[in-house]
Structure 1
Amino acid sequence: MTGMLLLATPLLPMAMAMACVSATLRTRMMEWLVLAPLPGLAAALLAVGGPPLVLDADGARFTLELSPPAAMLLGATALLWSLAGAYAATYLRDDPAKGRFAVSWLLTLAGSLGVFLADDLATFYLAFALVSLAAYGLVVQDGTKRAHRAGVIYLVLAVLGEICLLLAFALLHAATSGDSLAIRDAVAALPTAPARPWIVTLLILGFGLKAGLVPLHVWLPLAHPAAPMPASAVLSGAIVKAGIIGLIRFLPFGENLPGWGEVLAAMGLFTAFYGVAIGITQANPKTVLAYSSVSQMGVTVALLGLALAGGQVGWVRLAAFYAVHHVLAKGAMFLAVGVVAGCGGTRLRWVLLPVGLLVLAFGGLPLTGGGVAKLAVKDVFAGPWLGALSSLSAVGTTVLMVHFLLRLQLLGSGQPQERPAPGLVWPFLTLAAAALLGPWALYLGTGIGSLEKALGGAELWAGVWPVLLGLVLALGLHRWGWRLPAVPEGDVLVLTRRAPALLSACGDRLERGEVVLRQWPVAASALLGLAVLLVLAMWQAA
């Protein structure tokens, strides 16, 4: 039973994408997107910790398994994909290109869920590449010049990320004894691998790009505003988690890896504050949310860096738990943008109420899902310096999210009687409720913490004061924020004026990397399989 759930998680959306060969099914596929992630949700509830599923086909070996941290992320991600799929059916109901969108959506979904299950290098690479490259179709769906520019930049960075990971996996396989492709064997070989510095660097580059680490983050503030609303929700809430699960699966937590944990933690903390600093200069609510994702992924990566530096395997589960709240809450906020745009009069205030709760939850307001997520990782940031940085991060997050709320309310319809379609409202409200309550269920149900600790006076005050200070600073920003410099979406992309020279300099190094790849036959098979999938997807969408 558990093996069938693991297998159905990526195969059901793949089969639905294949069914789009039929023009009749393709035009109706939007109505069924809500069903595609349900095997993944069932697997997260029923298949965690079960025996691995091993598939052998003509000498190729694919292994699927679900660990507890991956199960938490899989469940939240599947729920987001399902509700965003229901939202998309209404949001894109009259779009003539909705069939093409459905194919891109389903292929991206298959990869997005597959990365949480893959237990060998080849399977993980195929799933990761699929979620990376198929998402291009979601970014360019609107067909505008802005969307195509964002899509090109996204695709170039995605390919660079794939190159980094393919090189890292080839070097990992070369350092692994025997012919094993199991991730656990590759990770066990990493601390003593001759090319360890290169492998770790490539892993951080490949996964950090997907997670939005600065300066690899530029695709987020470009792709999110350009994509349709449901696509933005999964790009920010789900797809960036492919980078997080990659770091969780491939870094040797509990092993001796001197210095790398501190480097990763420093990169994460810098990203966390950078996302806030640039985000408060933005006017587009979707762009503000994109920079908020950059900031929150920075905190998550910092947690993983501290776990690596301290040899604390248990902290990995806490980092995954922290990321679960981001999956649900950020997805709900993107869906809220479309709902607010169709609201007028008193209805607008009723919609902004749950959004306001989500905003405060991101700052760590006690008794909310975000509050319990921050409480769970509080001990990881123990110590005067880390504790102060954690509190400042909560203050900055509150400022940024209140800024988002103030920008969001300006999108409200000027027609008092206008109301959003029910097909937009109920997925948003369901996801908002899951973001506020779901982390509590995990916190208490999986033994991460206790109710007594969450309700302690000291813990409550530690969660309240950063939110209060953030609110005060946000009001000051609202009044005097016009004095801030205008920072374009994508910020560091001004450096792309030198891109041709940089690409030329990288050419020789890429050719050297090709020699390494030729020594790993699985790489060629993985690339061939990916090419077939992408060609098939484009043919189906034509």
Structure 2
Amino acid sequence: MTALLLIATPLTPLVFLIAVTMPRLRARALGLLWLAPLPGLACALTAAGADPFIVYARVRLTLVLDLPSALLLGGAALLWSAASVYVRSYIARDAQPRFAAWWLATMAGSLGVFVAGDLVSFYFVFALASLPAWGLVIHDRTPRAWSAGASYILLTVIGEAALLAGFALLAAFTPGDSLAMADVLPALATARLRDLAIAFLVIGFGLKAGLVPLHVWLPIAHPAAPMPASAVLSGAIIKAGIIGLIRFLPLEVTPAGWGEALAVIGFVTAFWGVAMGITQRNPKTVLAYSSVSQMGVVAAAIGMGLAAGIGTTPVSAAFYALHHILAKGALFLAVGVAASIGGRARWWVLGPAILLAMGFGGLPFTGGWLAKEAVKGELGEGLAGALSVLSAAGSTLLMLHFVRRLSLGWADDASSRPPIGMLLPWLALATAALILPWLLFPFAGGNLSAVLTPDALNKATRPVVVGLLLTVALLRWGERLPEVPGGDIIHPARRLLAGAAPLGGLLARAEALLRLWPVAGLALLLLTFALAFAMLGA
């Protein structure tokens, strides 16, 4: 049964994809889209810690699920299912088959990364989580969407190329034929080019997770994509980068210096996301920068865990990221609901949104508060502790800024109400983000009695109070802040390269070429198969 669930996790969305292409089955498949992620949820609930399932024994192509992966897989499956219900009411009916094709392919990769246990299968599903998402970004076919899609696919190809190089080095280090992570990663400890391999991995996974300066695709792609696509891009797909950092940088083989470097990158990312986010006017762009900031906190926790030799860090970081999957995915759905609701019914959006927003700053008794408590072992002392407190205050400021921008987007008609297919997924995910962390906190090594003491609650409240005071200042002087274009540093970089002949013309031709999905997609798939055949042939 465990093996069936491991296989069904990435395979079920692909079966639905085939059904969508068949006219006789298309309508039923679209109506049952929310079922496609449920084998992944069942897998997360029952298969964690079970023996790996070996698909191909010669090189140990493997499917496996550990506790950190199970936490992320369960959260991602819930988000994909809720967002799939949302799709039926949000996406125009005649556009649903086209949207579903990209949606299901991306879903298969997004869920598959959590069960892939070897280099070939992980690379394949990682690419599957990345490349088809281009179709989600450009779905509206507006000039803005096409431009965002071009930037997204260009950066994705760069990340995939870095990951390909890192995996090739890992395979070269391994003395035997096995490509299973459990056999490949121990060889990294004594490899001559260890630091180069780790650098490639950090670039590839850091780009997907949105770490500065590789974060620029998030605030470009999110505002252009339809609401359910933004929810899974920010909530689920970027976690492919997080699970990559957790799995491919194990404590036993990663030097402490790389942990310190990752912590520095993480904290820079956390504060950069806040600084850029408070200048934004579009609530979706604010949420995108919030995701940048929150993934910076996760990276800092992973880095500090590596530097300090904390063996529980993978589970703690995964628990923090699980909360982000649910809460951030819910808030993206809330933006769409807010645009179609008016009158007193607005509180169906505003009330839960305020709770979720304050949770990112660590407001006691929210799911976000427990998420921050889970990484206290990594981020609770010394300089890292001080930076973590400041980051929590910044998150409070940024998320209250989001609530304010959200409150400006209500429907003009006070009697307007959203379709039930949009309202229910939003409320379900919001409820899950508030309740599930309480149920899962003990599995992440948390102690509820320890975090419910008056002293612990007082410490958790302080950064929230600071964030509230900063929000008052932002309300008074925030309009004076210039709105930084989404993607921030990519815009001066484009101008710099455009003015540097012949690089400017080369970049323009490359970007125009990468607008064509078949070219970029085929190139990456050929690279994937080339890697697989090279490894198998070896």
Structure 1 residue ranges without an equivalent (≥5): 506-519, 529-542
Per the alignment, do residues 186 and 521 of structure 1 end up closer, same or farther by CA in structure 2, a change over 3 Å counting?
farther
1:461 aligns with 2:458: yes
Aligned to 1:83: 82
Amino acid at match of 1:496: R
1:29 aligns with 2:8: no
* TM-score, normalised by the number of residues in structure 1: 0.91
Q: Tell me how far apart the structure 2 counterparts of residues 379 and 228 of structure 1 sit (CA, whole Å).
A: 38
Q: Tell me how far apart the structure 1 counterparts of residues 289 and 505 of structure 2 sit (CA, whole Å).
A: 27
- 8 Å CA contact 2:256–2:306 kept in 1: the answer is no
Per the alignment, do residues 527 and 359 of structure 1 end up closer, same or farther by CA in structure 2, a change over 3 Å counting?
farther
* CA displacement, residues 466-490 of structure 1 (integer Å, 9 cap, x when unaligned): 1122112112202210111221011
Q: Tell me how far apart the structure 2 counterparts of residues 521 and 278 of structure 1 sit (CA, whole Å).
A: 35
Q: CA deviation at 1:383?
A: 2.5
Amino acid at match of 1:20: V
* TM-score, normalised by the number of residues in structure 2: 0.92
Q: CA deviation at 1:258?
A: 4.1
Aligned to 1:492: 489
Q: Tell me how far apart the structure 2 counterparts of residues 451 and 242 of structure 1 sit (CA, whole Å).
A: 29
Amino acid at match of 2:128: L
Per the alignment, do residues 324 and 64 of structure 1 end up closer, same or farther by CA in structure 2, a change over 3 Å counting?
same
Q: Tell me how far apart the structure 1 counterparts of residues 329 and 318 of structure 2 sit (CA, whole Å).
A: 16
Amino acid at match of 1:13: P
Q: CA deviation at 1:523?
A: 5.3
- 8 Å CA contact 1:166–1:523 kept in 2: the answer is no
Q: CA deviation at 1:256?
A: 5.4
- 8 Å CA contact 2:256–2:308 kept in 1: the answer is no
- 8 Å CA contact 1:237–1:326 kept in 2: the answer is yes
Aligned to 2:503: 501
Aligned to 1:516: none
* CA displacement, residues 322-345 of structure 1 (integer Å, 9 cap, x when unaligned): 101000000000000011111111
Q: CA deviation at 1:157?
A: 0.7
Q: Tell me how far apart the structure 1 counterparts of residues 328 and 239 of structure 2 sit (CA, whole Å).
A: 12
Q: CA deviation at 1:28?
A: 4.5
* CA displacement, residues 229-260 of structure 1 (integer Å, 9 cap, x when unaligned): 00000000000000000011111313351411
Correspondent of 1:379 among 360, 377, 380: 377
Q: CA deviation at 1:502?
A: 8.4
- 8 Å CA contact 1:125–1:526 kept in 2: the answer is no
Secondary structure at the aligned position of 1:427 is classed as helix
* CA displacement, residues 17-59 of structure 1 (integer Å, 9 cap, x when unaligned): 12222134334533221000000000000011111111239x7
Aligned to 1:304: 302
Amino acid at match of 1:46: T
Aligned to 2:227: 229
1:244 aligns with 2:242: yes
Secondary structure at the aligned position of 1:491 is classed as coil
Q: Tell me how far apart the structure 1 counterparts of residues 242 and 528 of structure 2 sit (CA, whole Å).
A: 24
- 8 Å CA contact 1:254–1:313 kept in 2: the answer is no
Amino acid at match of 2:4: M
Structure 2 residue ranges without an equivalent (≥5): 508-525
Q: Tell me how far apart the structure 2 counterparts of residues 525 and 128 of structure 1 sit (CA, whole Å).
A: 14
Amino acid at match of 1:6: L
* CA displacement, residues 401-442 of structure 1 (integer Å, 9 cap, x when unaligned): 000000001100111111111111111001000001111111
Correspondent of 2:264 among 266, 281, 284: 266
Aligned to 1:293: 291
The alignment-based identity, stated in percent, is: 55
Secondary structure at the aligned position of 2:215 is classed as coil
Q: Tell me how far apart the structure 2 counterparts of residues 256 and 133 of structure 1 sit (CA, whole Å).
A: 29
Q: Tell me how far apart the structure 2 counterparts of residues 261 and 103 of structure 1 sit (CA, whole Å).
A: 39
1:524 aligns with 2:521: no
Q: Tell me how far apart the structure 1 counterparts of residues 233 and 21 of structure 2 sit (CA, whole Å).
A: 25
Alignment of 1:395-410 (within 5 A): 395-410=393-408
Q: Tell me how far apart the structure 1 counterparts of residues 459 and 449 of structure 2 sit (CA, whole Å).
A: 15
Secondary structure at the aligned position of 1:54 is classed as strand
* CA displacement, residues 171-226 of structure 1 (integer Å, 9 cap, x when unaligned): 11101111110112221111211111210110000000000001101110011110
Q: Tell me how far apart the structure 1 counterparts of residues 295 and 254 of structure 2 sit (CA, whole Å).
A: 25
Q: CA deviation at 1:522?
A: 7.7
Per the alignment, do residues 316 and 502 of structure 1 end up closer, same or farther by CA in structure 2, a change over 3 Å counting?
farther
Correspondent of 2:449 among 444, 448, 452: 452
- 8 Å CA contact 1:29–1:99 kept in 2: the answer is no
Aligned to 1:6: 6
Aligned to 2:473: 476
Q: Tell me how far apart the structure 2 counterparts of residues 522 and 194 of structure 1 sit (CA, whole Å).
A: 25
Number of residue pairs aligned between Structure 1 and Structure 2? 513
Q: Tell me how far apart the structure 1 counterparts of residues 242 and 347 of structure 2 sit (CA, whole Å).
A: 35
Aligned to 2:177: 179
Aligned to 2:368: 370
Aligned to 1:145: 143
- 8 Å CA contact 1:276–1:397 kept in 2: the answer is yes
Correspondent of 1:210 among 199, 205, 208: 208
1:438 aligns with 2:440: no
